[in-house]
Structure 1
Amino acid sequence: MPRPAFANWLSDTNDVTQIFLAAGQIPGLINMAGGLPDPSTWPIADLSALAANAISNHPKDALAYAPIEGLPSLRDTIAARFSAPGLHLHRDNVMITSGGMQALDLLGKVLLDDGSLIAAQSPAYLGALDAWRPRRPIYRPMHLHANDFDPEAAFQGAQFAYTVPNFSNPTGRLVGLDQRQALLSAAQTTGTWLIEDDPYGTLYYDSAPLPRMLSLSASNSPHEDTPYDGPVIYLGTLSKELAPGLRVGWVIAAPQMIRALVTAKQGSDMSTSGLSQRITQDAFAAGLTDRILPEILALYRARRDALCAAMTTHLADLFTWEIPAGGMFVWATARDPALNTDALLPEALAQGVCITPSSVFDPHGLNRRAIRINFTLNDPEKLTEGVRRLARAAKSCLIKAA
C-alpha cells in the first residue's frame, strides 16, 4: 500500500545547510560556507568544571525537566545583563530557548498563518527562511541601505519585520544608528512587531557597539516596577559567544509575547536542557564570556583581514565586496552577471572549497550573482588557499557559461 505523502512545504526547501554542515567530513575540503566559530575559542577546561559543578551541586537544575520558560535564575541574569538606562527588564520579559533557531521557529508558530506577510531585511538569513517555510509566508524585502527605503511603508500590514542589524547574515552589513531609530519609529507607529536577531552583537572589530534597538525603545518601560512592553523582540544566543553545542538562546520581549512563545515551546521541546542552562548561568556569573571575548575578537579580526587580502589578490577581477566591520561573513557579488553562483557551488566543491550561493538567502531564489564567505572557522593559510580554489572554480564557471 502506498504511504501518505510528505507535507507540501518539504518540496520547497533547500539542501545547502546540510551541504555545508557535512562539508567538515570531506577530507581536504576547506569549508568557508557556514557561520561556524573556531573550536579553539571554546574554553574547554572552564566548561568542564562548570558542567561538573552543575551536576554535583545543582542536580535538580541540571538533570530534571526545567521550567518551560527557562531557569528563573538564568532569566533574571539575562534580564539584568540586557537592562539599560530607562530599560527595566524583568524575568517576565525573558524566555530561554534551545538555540537561536528555536526562537525563530516559535515566532513563526505564534505569529504566522499560511500566507502571512513578513517584512524581511534582504538578503535574509537562511535559517529564518527555513524556520518559517512550513507556514508559506509572503515576503516583502527590505533593502535597508537603499536611499529610498521607507520603513513605515515596509511595515504596513506585516505580521512582523525581521532584521539582523549587527553584521547581517549573509551580507555582514552593520545597520547604522539612524536606520535603527527609523525602524523602531516605524514599529511604534504601525504597531508591527520588530524582530532584532542579534547572534553577532559581540563581534565588533573596528568600533564600539551601537545601541540595540531594544535599548533604543527604552522609553516604553519608564518605571522600574513595570516590565518592558515595547515592540522589539530581541533574540540572543550563546553560540557565537561561548559554544554552539550548548544550544542556549533567549528571547527578550513584552510579557504577552513571552507567554505566547512559552505556549508554543510547550508543544515543541517542553524545555531547554537544564544542564546547559545551569552552565550558562554559572558562566555568566563567573564572567567567562567577558574574559574570552578579547581573544575571540583578535582572532577573528586577523582572519577577516587575511580573507579580504587574499580576495584582493585572487578575486578582485571576479567579484566586488565590502570589508565588514564585524561578524563572520564577507558578501561578494560577481562582476559578470553570467557567473551563476548556484552553478559555482558544485564547481567550488570539485575544487575543494565550500561557499554559500546567494539564492538561498532570497525567498524567491532569484538572486544568483553573489556568495557568502565565512572567515571565522579557518586559519589565514586555509583562507588563502580556499580563495585560490574559489578563483579557479569561478573562472571554470565563466568558461562553461560562455
Structure 2
Amino acid sequence: MPQRPAFAKWLDDTNDVTATFLAAGRIPGLVNLGGGLPGTEIWPVEDMTKLATSAVADHADETLAYAPVAGLPKLRDLIAARYSEGDLTLTRDNVLITAGGAQALNLIGTVLLEEGSTVASQTPAYLGALDNWRPRQPVYRPMRLEANDLDPVAAMTGAQFAYTVPNFSNPTGKLVNAATRRRLVDAAHHTGTWLIEDDPYGTLYYDDAPMPRMLTLSAEEAGAPYDGPVIYLGTVSKELAPGLRIGWIIAAPEMIEVLKAAKQSADMCTSGLCQQITHDAFATGLADDMLPNILDLYRARRDALCAAMDEHLPDLFTWERPTGGMFVWATAKDPALDTNRLMEVGLEHGVCISPSSVFDPEGRDHSSIRINFTYNTEDKLVTGIERLATATRAALAEA
C-alpha cells in the first residue's frame, strides 16, 4: 500500500494537556475548575426561545439565507453605536461579525502572520490565541504588562501586532491599569503596530467601575470615523450565550476589508439566524437586563472560591483575588511542584485545573495553575478546592 502524505508539520507542536483536559469531561463526579465556561444558570431560555421563533417567523430572508460576509448591516450598526463614545465614532464600516471570538483570532492570523512573524504578546497568553496562530509558527516577544520595566515601544517595534487581554486576562485574571493602557495605545501610534484588544470579559466587573477601552483611548479626532491602530474583539459568549457563536471585530476600515476577504474564504458568512437573535437580544434590552444577575452570581462564586482557597491552600499557593472576569491564577510556593503533573494527579482525585505551561508560548512555565470560578456552584467550588489541596500534597510527596 502506498504511503500517504504526511500531516502538516505544525501538528507536531501541539500540546498534550489540551487532549487530557478534553478527555477529563468523561470522569464521573469530576469538579472541573480548568475550563473557561460561563454558568448555565445565566441563560434566559424562555426569552431566547421567543427571540429565535420571531427571528425565523419575521426575518426568514435574513435568517435562512446566506448572510452578507461582513454581517447583517443592522447588527453592525448596533455594535458601532454601542461602542461609540467620547471621541470614538464608529460606523458599520468599522465592524465585522465573526463566528465567535475564536474566528476573530484566526482571521487576524490569516491576514497578518507569515511563518516566523513576530507577535508581541501579553504573557501568560490565552491558549485559544496560541492555538489559532500555531500553524503559522510565529515568534513570540513576551510583554509582562504589570512589570515596572515594561517598554511597550521596544516590545512592539517590528512586531506584526501586539496581543492583549486587558480586562481580567485569560489566564491570570489580571486587570491592566489605565496608565498602562494609555502607554500601549501611544506605542501603537508611535510604532505603527496593530494593537489587539481582546475583550471577552469586559462586562464582568464585580467591584469597580470599568476601565476605559484602548479602542476608545486610541481615537484621535472627535467626530471623525475611526481609523486607528487598535483591533478590538468582542463576543456574546460571556454576556449572552456561547452557543450563538457571535463575535465582532472593530477596527479601521482598511483592516475590516482584508479581514472580510479572509472570512469569505473561511466560511462565507456567520449564521444569519444567530445574528438576528443577537441583534434582538441587544435591541430589546435583554442582554443589559441579564447583566446584573450574571454579576451577582459570579461575584458570589468568586468569593466562595477565594474563601475556600484561603482555608485549604495558603501553605501551597499564592494568588490575588480578582476584581472581575472568570479566573484565579495561583502560583506554587514550592518550586518542586510541576503543575503539568498536578493536573494528572488532580484528575485522579476528581478535580481538573489548567497548568501554566499551555499559556506559555514556549511551554516552559510549570509553576502556576488557572482556576475557573464561574461554571460551578459554590458547594462544588469548595469541594474542588478541597480535592485540589489533597492532590497538591500528593504531587509534592511524589516529587
**1:255 maps to which of 248, 253, 256:** 253
Q: Secondary structure at the match of 1:267?
A: helix
Q: Is the 8 A contact 2:86 2:222 kept in 1?
A: no
Match of 2:278 in 1: 280
Following superposition, the deviation at residue 260 of structure 1 comes to 0.5
Q: How does 1:105-144 map to 2 (within 5 A)?
A: 105-144=106-145
Amino acid at match of 1:222: A
Give CA-to-partner distance per residue, 1:16-68, whole Å, 9 cap, x none.
34444454443200111111001110011111000000000000111110011
Structure 1 residues 339-369: Cα deviation after superposition (integer angstroms, max 9, x where no partner):
0000001100010011000000001000000
CA displacement at 1:370 relative to structure 2 = 0.1
- Matched AA of 1:155: M
In structure 2, the partner of 1:158 is 159
Deviations 1:208-245 (A, max 9, x none): 101100011122x433xx42100000000000010000
Contact persistence 2:51–2:277 (CA under 8 A): yes
Identity percentage of aligned residues: 66
Give me the whole-angstrom Cα distance separating, in 2, the residues matched to 1:227 and 1:332. Answer: 42
Indicate yes or no: 2:399 matched with 1:397: no
Match runs of 1:163-312 below 5 Å: 163-219=164-220, 221-223=221-223, 226-312=224-310
- Report if the CA contact (8 A) 2:119-2:140 is conserved: yes
- Residue in structure 1 matched with residue 86 of structure 2 by the alignment: 85
What is the CA deviation profile of residues 224-272 of structure 1, one whole-angstrom value per residue up to 9, with x for unaligned ones?
Answer: xx42100000000000010000000000000000000000001111111
Query: Could you tell me whether the CA contact under 8 Å between 1:92 and 1:227 is conserved in 2?
Result: no
Residue deviations 1:189-216 (CA, integer Å, cap 9, x gap): 0000000000000000000101100011
1 CA distance for matches of 2:355 and 2:245? 26
Q: Per-residue displacement from partner, 1:286-341 (whole Å, max 9, x unpaired)?
A: 01111010000000001001001100111110000000000000000000000000
Unpaired stretches in structure 1, ≥5 consecutive residues: none
Correspondence for 2:59: 58
Give TM-score, length-normalised by structure 1.
0.98
Q: Give the secondary-structure state (helix, strand or coil) at the position aligned to 2:374.
A: coil
Mapped partners of 2:86, 2:340: distance in 1: 47
Secondary structure of 2:266's counterpart equals: coil
Q: Does 2:12 match 1:11?
A: yes
Supply the distance in 2 between the matched residues of 1:98 and 1:25 (Cα, whole angstroms).
27
Aligned-pair CA distance for 1:14? 2.0
Please tell me whether the aligned partners of residues 199 and 236 of structure 1 are also in contact (alpha carbons under 8 angstroms). Answer: yes
Distance in structure 2 (CA, Å) of the matches to 1:222 and 1:184: 17
Please tell me whether residue 382 in structure 1 is matched to residue 380 in structure 2: yes
Would the alpha carbon gap of residues 15 and 99 (structure 1) be closer, same or farther in structure 2, given more than 3 Å must change?
farther
Aligned-partner Cα distance in 1 for 2:208–2:270: 34
2:348 to 350, 375, 384: 350
Tell me whether 1:95 sits opposite 2:96 in the alignment.
yes
Which letter does structure 2 place at the counterpart of 1:191?
G
Task: Answer yes or no: is the 8 Å Cα contact 1:166–1:174 preserved in 2.
Answer: yes
CA distance in 2, matches of 1:130, 1:278: 30
Deviation, 1:13, is: 1.1
Q: Secondary structure at the match of 2:150?
A: coil
CA RMSD of aligned residues (A): 0.9
CA contact (8 A) 1:119 1:160 kept: yes
SS of aligned partner of 2:34: coil
Question: 2:21 and 2:358 mapped to 1: Cα distance?
Answer: 13
Instruction: Give the TM-score of the pair, scaled to structure 2.
Output: 0.98
